[in-house]
């Protein structure tokens, strides 16, 4: 595949370079740019050769000089002025006058099933351009949104090939599919790991219910619209974007060395009344397991695209290759992408086209538990003994199951995942009767994922060995399609503008999974690992699948009067097969929005403060169908354990393993948004403020049920509660160009969100108790009325028990000096479950970002900052202990060693007594600020690159996540998870910084 990719790339470049050599010779065009109103010079005006990336800026006197073909067209643009195009027509002098414009209002925004002018939008829609995304060295385009959009929280998973977790204006739903809906060129997806960020033209985030409701049943968690790069009429343009870099762990957690560890373990044994484990604690540094296993990881990302066409047909072809090593020595991810789009104007009334993307990826995986193993591994254990065999924790009486040799874990791990995916759509668009446009589109997402895990026969340590090799394999096939038909009426007359949209959608989602295991499979080479080679007696094969369908009808009306008064109303009806057989098969999702462009009123014409002032308000409903198929149908299970003999004949019985609700209703969210948009200084400063409130009604939860009911599943699905997200957002951008030629923009945003459970409809409170991933069985979160979803819950620490007398009076069973001291909240003299309280909120109250761009002559600089505030994390790594796990250095330096030594940190006996219970000692401040991206670029002068038959050549250096500021005692404060388990840090992939250099070349 790689050879084919390389050969094709070389062939495309060779052919198109040959065409490029035949293009007409350039001429030098000079001129002056002025203000059409007063004739003053305009410095810093962007002058671009249309259809290319060749560009210059006017100097302090408004003068410019640019090299372009004699048949070219020049595009002049300047902030606060209307863009203007001028044909060269062989001229060498072109003087241009630009007129003032409210450019921000005329900006086109992508919305559901179409586009609107920014002035006409009545909902809350944020747009990020592809050029801003391309400046981030991200492998997933959603990661590049971090810190750029108010009200949008993004948590990155640092594992190569993984997708980030995105939350729009707080948690929208609890159960089932909690992710946002991605719509790429009209096709619906749950995730977009197949998409190369360089192929993105723009991303629109629909934040309020009014803008989301046109997507009905899938919009409960927000909608992200992505348009990809399209072909442009003109000569073929070849563009290469490439980066090469390295990734290094930032903010590493320092662990104790061998001597410190031995000292702490002996102290823990003494507290427990046991003899010391180590007779000699002077063991030196020992093994630094993080240093042993972590590495500086390389990353290569390359993209080659060809763009061009004519008045009848345009095309865009792109090829991409990503090779990313993980920071664990055996971790790697490779992705190949190919994308082709073609738009053809068959005749004036009919346009057809297609977009298709093919992706192939392979990842060499590491065990899910490896970071937990590194955290707990004892430094007294060597990687290898002197005789060359693996160091064994049991040699030091450390074999308690959580203390292993991480190097052996990696060496005998053989796991890989291959993915093949083809996505895209084909469409036709017919215009008739002047005002009507009919569009039909068929799209699909067809993929196959193959997972393979192989464990050979081996003996590494007493706890890490097996006498039987095991091969497991899984194949997951996905076959999804969507058909959409829309009819649009668009008319403008006198002071009125009216757009009416009517549409229909049909969808099918199908997946099929086959899994198998076999034992005693011999290993010769990777290609010879087959289940059929194992013992027939131990071989198992299982399959499963799912099929769901949906039908939808929708409509929308947009009306504008004198560009002052705006109205937007829509409704969507969705029928989903998940609810088949009940009275709730169909859900209906209306919305309405209004806007008032105050600056277009007559009484505002003479004012000089606002270049734009617009008030908007909206209301809408969205839904969620992300629940299991047939959730109200009772199923039974037959097992060998239920065989009974009647008359000597065996009969297999059946058992009900789970309870189902008698009925399940649509989960709906109703949201209100009020926004104010303001522009100042001829559009140089733009401010947008929003207040929103969204209530999720009849939210679907899996609530706990009594074990005495006799089912193996201890939870019952149902519509259990209502909850609300409410907040404010502020985004401001200043853009300007100085007389000295410095062009710059500074954009800041901040969002505040309050999440709270309003009431419980089922009568069960709490409706959820979780905090999964803690192997010692401790639950650390609870969801109840009056609190945020997934709030941390446990004991409130009020100090450290110093003496035996204080231990006896603490009310804690088995308490010892050095243990955590808990508050007796109910005053009964005992510490038990009745004394637990709420300890923190894992849902960030504030998300903020600052994004800056500077350009001076041929240099450009980008600095992006991002952070969160008002959030807590649960350090499960520190509290999930069984006895002899390693300690972080900070704990060792501050631990309790005797009466009066400290009243903040317990003794080394963290696994004893009540110390490993969920408590405020483990709940930490999760606030952080980071320099998300720092990039410095230089574009070679146009006069120089033109001699090399190029339009543009830019080199740059980039640092991402290089500077991080936080107080959390873990690797990273970016800790995701499901809504009721978010923020619990047990096995999180460490944060790393990426340093790379890059090259952009355009022919």
In the three-class reduction of DSSP (H, G, I as helix; E, B as strand; rest coil), residue 532 is classed as helix
By three-state DSSP, how is residue 311 classified?
Answer: coil
- Predicted confidence at residue 11, as pLDDT, reads 37
Whether 927 has a pLDDT exceeding 90, the answer reads yes
CB atoms within 10 A of CB 115: 12
pLDDT at 6: 40
Of 235-244, 559-568, 652-661, 957-966, least confident by mean pLDDT is: 652-661
Q: Which residue has the higher pLDDT, 760 or 841?
A: 841
Q: List alpha helices for 470-571, DSSP H.
A: none
User: What's residue 538's pLDDT?
Assistant: 80
- The pLDDT value recorded for residue 9 is 42
Burial of 639 (0-12, 13-18, 19+ CB in 10 A): exposed
Could you report the per-residue pLDDT of 610-643, keeping only the tens digit for each?
989 999 999 999 988 777 666 666 666 666 666 7
Q: Examine the pLDDT at 488 and tell me if it is beyond 50.
A: yes
**In the predicted structure, residue 747 carries a pLDDT above the cut 80:** yes
Q: Where are the alpha helices (DSSP H) in 557-628?
A: none
What is d(CA 880, CA 886) in angstroms, rounded to the nearest whole number? 11
How much is the pLDDT for 37?
A: 63
Q: Across 562-639, where does the E strand assignment appear?
A: 565-576, 586-597, 610-624
What kind and span of H or E run contains 15?
Answer: helix 2-21
Strands (DSSP E) contained in 160-312 are: 165-168, 181-184, 187-189, 200-206, 223-228, 234-249, 297-309
* Cβ contact 79:684 at 8 Å: yes
Specify the pLDDT at position 516. 95
The CATH architecture annotation of domain 23-98 reads Sandwich (2.60)
pLDDT tens digits, 341-385? 999 999 989 999 999 999 999 999 999 889 989 999 999 999 999
Q: What's the DSSP call for residue 528?
A: G
Beta strand ranges found along 656-770 (DSSP E): 667-680, 685-704, 715-737, 742-760, 768-770
CA dist., res. 988 & res. 976, Å (int)? 9
For 214, half-sphere exposure in the C-beta direction (CA atoms, 13 angstrom radius) is 29
Encode 96-110: b = buried (16+ Cβ within 10 Å), e = exposed: bebeebbbbbeeebb
Q: What gap in Å lies between CA 680 and CA 677, rounded to an integer?
A: 10
**Are 952 and 934 contacting, i.e. CB atoms less than 8 angstroms apart?**
no
pLDDT greater than 90 at residue 950: no
Mean pLDDT value of segment 527-535: 86
- When computed from its CA atoms, the radius of gyration of the chain, rounded to whole angstroms, is 31
Higher pLDDT, 647 or 47: 47
Reported confidence tier of residue 417, pLDDT bands at 50, 70, 90: very high
How far, in Å, CA of 505 to CA of 672, rounded?
26
Does pLDDT of 329 surpass 70? yes
pLDDT at 14 (0 to 100)? 36
Any idea which of 191-200, 265-274, 395-404 has the lowest mean pLDDT? 395-404
Residue 282: count of CB within 10 angstroms of its CB: 9
pLDDT beyond 50 at 914? yes
666 or 567, greater pLDDT: 567
Give the chain's largest Cα–Cα span: 107
Instruction: Give me the percent of the chain exceeding a pLDDT of 70.
Output: 90
d(CA 582, CA 663): 7
Mean pLDDT, rounded, of the chain? 87
Model pLDDT for residues 1-49, shown as the tens digit of each residue: 343 334 334 333 333 333 343 334 688 899 999 877 667 778 778 888 8
Burial class (CB in 10 A: 0-12, 13-18, 19+), 746: middle
Residue 555 φ/ψ, nearest 5 degrees: -155, 155
Q: Is the pLDDT of residue 200 over 80?
A: yes
Given this model, what pLDDT does residue 55 score? 80
Sign for the CA dihedral angle at 950, 955, 961, 964 comes to negative
Would you list the DSSP string of 140-154?
A: STTGGGTTTSTTEEE
Percent of the chain predicted with pLDDT > 90? 57
CA 607 to mean position of chain CA atoms: 43
Cβ distance 596 to 576 under 8 Å?
no
Look-up: residue for tokens 């959390």?
968
Least confidently predicted of 196-200, 381-385, 582-586, 597-601: 582-586
Distance CA 747, CA 853 (A): 9
pLDDT of residue 814 exceeding 90, the answer is no
Q: And the tokens for 414?
A: 């053989």
Whether the per-residue pLDDT at 213 is higher than 90: the answer is: yes
**CB within 8 Å of 15: residues ≥ 6 apart:** none
Q: What average pLDDT does range 203-220 have in this prediction?
A: 91
Higher pLDDT, 286 or 311: 286
DSSP single-letter state for residue 214: G
pLDDT at 628: 65
Q: Taking 70 as the threshold, does the pLDDT of residue 334 lie above it?
A: yes
Higher-confidence residue of 767 and 411: namely: 411
- What's the whole-number mean pLDDT along residues 715-743? 88
- φ, ψ dihedrals at 407, nearest 5°: -65, -40
Partners of 578 in the β-ladder? none
**Closest by Cα among 423, 428, 431, 430 to 440:** 428
Higher pLDDT: 854 or 606? It is: 854
Cα–Cα dist 394/461, whole Å: 8
**For residue 174, how many other CB atoms are within 10 A of its CB?**
25
Specify the pLDDT at position 976: 86
**Tens digits of residue pLDDT in 156-180:** 888 888 889 999 999 988 877 788 9
Total Cβ atoms within 10 A of residue 55: 17
Q: Which of 70-74, 690-694, 715-719, 767-771 has the highest mean pLDDT?
A: 690-694
Average pLDDT over residues 499-505: 96
496: which residues sit within 8 A by CB, 6+ positions away?
Answer: 559, 560, 561
> Is it the case that residue 104 has pLDDT exceeding 60?
no
- 269 vs 26, residue with greater confidence: 269
Residues in the chain: 1003
Structure tokens, 915? 């110390």
pLDDT score for 635: 67
Please determine, for residue 118, whether its predicted confidence score (pLDDT) is greater than 50.
yes
Q: Which residues contact 451 (CB under 8 A, 6 or more apart)?
A: 415, 416, 417, 473, 474, 475, 476
Residue 400 in this model has a pLDDT that exceeds 70: no
- The pLDDT tens digits of the residues spanning 888-908 come to 999 999 999 999 999 999 999
């Amino acid at each position: 595949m790689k050879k084919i990719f390389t050969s094709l790339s070389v062939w495309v470049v060779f052919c198109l370079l040959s065409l490029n050599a035949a293009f007409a010779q350039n001429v030098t065009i000079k001129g002056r740019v002025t203000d059409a109103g007063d004739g003053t010079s305009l410095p810093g005006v962007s002058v671009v050769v249309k259809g290319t990336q060749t560009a210059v800026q006017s100097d302090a006197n408004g003068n410019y000089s640019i090299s372009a073909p004699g048949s070219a067209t020049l595009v002049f643009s300047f902030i606060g002025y209307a863009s203007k195009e001028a044909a060269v027509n062989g001229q060498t002098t072109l003087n241009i006058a630009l007129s003032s414009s409210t450019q921000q209002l005329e900006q086109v925004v992508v919305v559901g099933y179409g586009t609107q002018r920014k002035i006409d939008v009545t909902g809350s829609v944020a747009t990020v351009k592809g050029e801003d995304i391309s400046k981030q060295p991200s492998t997933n385009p959603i990661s590049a949104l971090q810190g750029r959009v108010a009200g949008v929280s993004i948590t990155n998973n640092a594992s190569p090939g993984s997708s980030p977790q995105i939350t729009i204006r707080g948690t929208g739903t609890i159960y089932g599919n909690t992710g946002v809906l991605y719509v790429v060129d009209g096709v619906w997806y749950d995730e977009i790991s197949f998409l190369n960020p360089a192929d993105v033209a723009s991303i629109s985030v629909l934040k309020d219910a009014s803008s989301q409701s046109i997507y009905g049943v899938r919009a409960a968690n927000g909608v992200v619209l992505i348009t990809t790069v399209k072909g442009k009429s003109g000569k073929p343009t070849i563009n290469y974007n490439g980066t090469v870099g390295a990734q290094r762990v930032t903010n590493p957690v320092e662990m104790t060395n061998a001597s410190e560890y031995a000292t702490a373990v002996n102290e823990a044994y003494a507290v427990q009344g046991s003899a010391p484990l180590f007779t000699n604690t002077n063991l030196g540094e020992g093994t630094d397991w993080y240093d042993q296993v972590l590495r500086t990881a390389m990353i290569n990302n390359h993209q080659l695209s060809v763009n061009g066409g004519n008045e009848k047909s345009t095309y865009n072809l792109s090829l991409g290759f990503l090779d990313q090593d993980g920071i664990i020595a055996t971790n790697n991810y490779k992705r190949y992408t190919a994308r082709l789009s073609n738009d053809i104007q068959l005749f004036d009334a009919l346009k057809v086209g297609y977009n298709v993307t093919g992706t192939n990826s392979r990842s060499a995986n590491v065990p899910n538990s490896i970071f937990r193993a590194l955290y707990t591994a004892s430094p007294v254990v060597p990687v290898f003994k002197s005789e060359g065999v693996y160091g064994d924790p049991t040699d030091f009486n450390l074999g308690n199951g959580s203390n292993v040799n991480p190097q052996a874990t990696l060496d005998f791990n053989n796991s890989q995942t291959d993915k093949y995916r083809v996505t895209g759509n084909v469409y036709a668009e017919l215009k008739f009767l002047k005002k009507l446009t009919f569009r039909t589109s068929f799209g699909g997402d067809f993929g196959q994922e193959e997972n393979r895990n192989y464990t050979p026969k081996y003996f590494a340590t007493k706890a890490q060995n097996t006498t039987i090799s095991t091969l497991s394999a899984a194949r997951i096939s996905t076959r999804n399609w969507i058909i959409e038909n829309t009819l649009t009426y668009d008319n403008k007359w006198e002071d009125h503008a009216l757009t009416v949209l009517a549409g229909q959608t049909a969808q099918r989602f199908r997946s099929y999974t086959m899994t198998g295991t076999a034992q005693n499979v011999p290993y010769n080479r990777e290609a010879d690992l087959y289940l059929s080679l194992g013992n027939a007696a131990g071989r198992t094969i299982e399959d499963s699948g799912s099929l769901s369908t949906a039908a939808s009808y929708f409509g929308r009306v947009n009306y504008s009067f004198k560009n002052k008064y705006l109205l937007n109303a829509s409704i969507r009806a969705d029928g989903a097969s998940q609810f088949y057989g009940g009275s709730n098969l169909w859900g209906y999702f209306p919305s309405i929005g209004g806007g008032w462009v105050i600056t277009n009123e007559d009484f505002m014409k003479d004012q000089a403060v606002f270049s734009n002032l617009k008030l908007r308000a909206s209301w809408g409903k969205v839904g969620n169908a992300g629940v299991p198929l047939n959730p109200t149908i009772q199923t039974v299970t037959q097992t060998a354990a239920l065989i009974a003999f009647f008359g000597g004949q065996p009969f297999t019985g059946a058992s009900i393993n789970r309870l189902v609700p008698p009925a399940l209703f649509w989960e709906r969210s109703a949201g209100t948004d009020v926004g104010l948009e303001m522009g100042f200084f001829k559009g140089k400063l733009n401010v947008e403020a929003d207040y929103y409130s969204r209530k999720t009604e009849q939210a679907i939860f899996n609530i706990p049920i009594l074990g005495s009911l006799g089912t193996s599943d201890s939870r019952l699905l149902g519509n259990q509660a209502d909850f609300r997200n409410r907040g404010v957002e502020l985004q401001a951008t200043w853009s300007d160009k100085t007389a000295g030629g410095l062009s710059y923009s500074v954009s800041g945003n901040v969002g505040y969100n309050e999440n709270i459970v309003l009431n419980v409809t089922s009568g069960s409170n709490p409706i959820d108790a979780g905090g999964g991933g803690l192997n010692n069985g401790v639950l650390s979160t609870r969801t109840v009325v009056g609190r945020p979803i997934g709030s941390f819950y446990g004991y409130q620490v009020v100090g450290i028990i110093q003496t035996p007398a204080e231990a006896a009076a603490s009310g804690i069973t088995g308490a010892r000096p050095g243990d955590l001291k808990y508050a007796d909240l109910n005053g009964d003299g005992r510490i038990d479950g009745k004394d637990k309280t709420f300890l923190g909120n894992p849902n960030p109250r504030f998300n903020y970002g600052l994004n800056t761009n500077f350009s001076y002559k041929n240099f450009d600089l980008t600095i992006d900052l991002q952070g969160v505030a008002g959030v807590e994390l649960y350090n499960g790594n520190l509290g999930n202990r069984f006895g002899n796990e390693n300690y972080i250095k900070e704990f060792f330096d501050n631990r309790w060693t005797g009466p009066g030594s400290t009243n903040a940190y317990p003794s080394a006996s963290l696994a004893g007594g009540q110390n490993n219970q969920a408590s405020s000692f483990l709940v930490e401040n999760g606030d952080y600020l980071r320099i998300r991206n720092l990039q410095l670029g230089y574009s070679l002068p146009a006069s120089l690159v033109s001699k090399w038959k190029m339009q543009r050549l830019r080199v740059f250096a980039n640092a991402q996540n290089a500077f991080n500021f936080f107080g959390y005692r873990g690797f990273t404060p970016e800790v995701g998870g499901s809504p009721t388990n978010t923020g619990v840090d047990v096995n999180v992939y460490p944060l790393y910084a990426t340093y790379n250099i890059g090259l952009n070349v355009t022919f």
